[in-house]
Every structure is written in structure tokens, then in C-alpha cells.
A = this chain, B = another copy of it.
Amino acid sequence: MDQVIAAVEAMGLTAEPIPGSLRTAIGVLGNQGYVDDSTIRTLPGVRETIHVSKPYKMASRDFHPEPSIIDVSGVRFGDGHKPVIIAGPCSIESEEQMMIAAKEVKAGGGQMLRGGAFKPRTGPHSFQGLGIPGLKYLQQAGKEYGLPVVTEIMRIEQLEVICQHADMLQIGARNMQNFDLLKEVGKTKHPVLLKRGMSATIEEFLAAAEYLLAEGNSNVVLCERGIRTFEKATRNTLDLSVVPLIREMSHLPIVVDPSHATGKRMLVPVMTKAALVAGAHGVMMEVHPDPARALCDGAQSLSGEHFAELMIEINRLLDFLGYS
């Protein structure tokens, strides 16, 4: 016990023993945030160390009680604002495809356009995206139909060009803990859509957002997109309970991506509505002019017609929920 107390004090903190019938707990006080416990955790006689403070602070409600409203070229995410519908193809395939997609998104009533120019694919032999030409098609299509656009950034060198062409940067699930990318994106003020990692806990998700906030970028929207579990009947397991939980733990808005979460077109409409009822500040959906010919994720994409039908139901639901 003396050794533990000494180790705690060596970190400039205070140790307070709390004797129990079988064990003694030692409280660690005086820390301003998360304490790295690795020097204490395996001293002789230490059974476990338990964290009360968390690895994030600026992302938490404790620190920032007011809800954040994130403005993306006029579209607003956050409490009191109508949930934002983001739609568009998984990947940008051609100028024509993006123009049709944007037209369909606009016609259905979507507020933002999505499309990937740089694509993270499991294997190198799959289509990797059109790159910069794709960005241009996306920007043009967004302008033509008055829709702010969001697209994924995969490497730091893309930061400048994507900021020029897109209203919002997406950080994908596989890069949620690409901390160097987070830091560089954090140095801009560009709005970010940060997707939850495939096996990230809520705590790690908020700690990833903290990287952005700590560098000065507070324009962060979180996105739940399903987690990896033993169940393979859906592509991922949509963890919808995270929506009310993050609304309580953090001031940042949270949206849901039912397309990647379920991987099945048939499940997208119903899970979109469930997400909105759960309190999501927006939904991101894959919509493709011709899903059967999509170069990526056709199986989870809605056609423009299907999207238009769904938007009628969504608007009825949003009316019911008090948005107008």
C-alpha cells in the first residue's frame, strides 16, 4: 500500500485509502482529467484500477452543458433543428450519375448530398474511387441543386483539395483512430462527420472527437454506423441506443447511417424511422440512380424512386415528432 501511495504521489496526485472488509480501495484525487494508470496497475497487491475520469473532456456535457449546433453551409445539425437527411451514392462514378443522384436527392427533399471520391475498400483489387475528378462532379452536382456536400477524407494530403470542394469532411469508421488525420482535420474549422469505429466504445468515440476539439475544430457531428458483433445476418449491428446515450453524455449532434449499419436495402427505411424516433439529429442514406449497377454497396442503396417514397413517410414522421 505504501508503494501505491508513493507512486500516486510521484504523479503529483493525492492518494486516499478506503479500507474494506476484504480489500482496501485507494482513491486518486487531484487529477484534472484522465490518469494514465499503467505505473500503478501492476504494483504488487493491486487487483485492479478503475477509472472515474474519462479520456475526453471538451466533448462531454459536464464541460459543455449547452447542445452544439453545427452549421454546414446553412444546413444545421443539433437540438431544435429538423433532422438532416443526407443522401447520395456510396461512390462517385461519373458526372452524369452525380447529377441524376443530386436531382433525386433534392426532389425527394434531402438537404445534403453525399458521395465518395476516395474509397476505403477491404482489398486492393476493388474499385478505389475516381479521386479528384470525382470531387468536382460532387461539387458541381451540389451547386446545381443547392445541396451542401460531404465526402470522405482518407489521407492528410487530401485535406486542402477536399476542403475546396466539399462543405463537410467525413472521417470513416476505419480512420476513427487515425489520430494524425484527426489532428490535421482538427486544425481546420471545416465541419466534420466523424463515424464511429467498427469496434469503438462510446468512450473511444468521444475521445476521437476530443482530438478534433482539442485542436480547435468544434464543428463535429458524430455518426453511428453499426458495430461489429458475432451476428452476421446484418452487415453490422446498428447500436441505436447510442443515440439517446450520446445525447446525454455529449453536446455534439449525432446522426445515423442505416445503410452501412444494416447492409440491406430492405432494412433501411424502417431503421431510418427508428433512428429518428430515437433522437438522431440526422440520417445518412445511400441513394443511387441505378443500384443494380452501382460500383459499390449497391445492395444497401435505395433507388431515387424508393428514396422519394421513403421521404414522404419520413416527413410525416417528422411532422408527428413536432418538426415542421
* Interface, chain A (partner B; CB < 8 A): 7, 10, 16, 18-23, 25, 27, 29-34, 36-39, 41-43, 50, 52-53, 55-57, 62, 118, 120-127, 154-157, 174-175, 177-181, 183, 198-199, 201-204, 207, 210-211, 214-215, 227-234, 237-245, 248, 261-262, 264-267, 270-271, 273-275, 277-279, 291-300, 317, 320
Name the distance in Å between A150's Cβ and chain B's nearest Cβ. Answer: 19
Instruction: Return the 10 tightest CB-CB contacts between A and B, nearest first.
Output: A55-B123, A199-B199, A41-B299, A38-B298, A174-B177, A155-B180, A123-B207, A124-B214, A274-B274, A274-B278
Contacts of A245 in B (CB 8 A): 233-234, 264, 267
Q: Which residues of B contact A124 (CB under 8 A)?
A: 179, 183, 207, 210-211, 214-215
A34 touching B271 in the complex, CB below 8 Å, given contacts A230-B228, A240-B240, A294-B39: no
Contact of A231 with B214 at beta-carbon distance under 8 Å, contacts A39-B294, A240-B238 already known: no
Which residue in chain B gives the minimum CB-CB distance to A320? B320
Separation in Å of the A18 CB from the closest CB of chain B?
A: 5
Complex CA–CA separation, A124 to B55 (angstroms): 8
CB contacts (< 8 Å) of A228 on chain B: these are 199, 230
Given A125-B55, A241-B267, A298-B42, verify A202-B177 contact (CB < 8 Å). Answer: no
- Per a CB cutoff under 8 Å, which of B16, B179, B299 touches A154? B179
Are the C-beta atoms of A179 and B20 separated by less than 8 Å? no
Give A179's nearest chain B residue, CB to CB. B120
Question: In the assembly, how many copies of this chain are there?
Answer: 4
From A119, which residue of chain B is reached at the shortest CB distance? Answer: B179
The distance in angstroms between the C-alpha atoms of A210 and B123, with both chains bound, is 7
- A29 in contact with B34 (CB, 8 Å): no
> Do A31 and B42 contact each other (CB < 8 Å), given the known contacts A155-B156, A262-B241?
no
Q: Are A42 and B233 in contact, CB atoms less than 8 angstroms apart? A: no
Q: Which residues of B sit under 8 angstroms from A18, Cβ to Cβ?
A: 16, 18, 27, 29
Asked whether, in the complex, the Cβ of A50 is within 8 Å of the Cβ of B53, the reply is: no
* Contact with A231, one of B23, B120, B202, B317 (Cβ below 8 angstroms): B202
Closest to A226 in B: B241
Residues of B within 8 A of A211 (CB): 123-124
Complex contacts, A239 vs chain B, CB 8 Å: 229, 231, 237-238
28 contacts between A and B (CB under 8 A): A20-B53, A23-B52, A34-B126, A36-B127, A38-B294, A38-B299, A39-B291, A39-B299, A41-B298, A42-B264, A42-B265, A42-B300, A121-B179, A124-B210, A124-B215, A156-B156, A178-B178, A201-B230, A201-B231, A227-B229, A240-B274, A241-B262, A241-B271, A245-B264, A273-B277, A274-B275, A274-B278, A277-B317
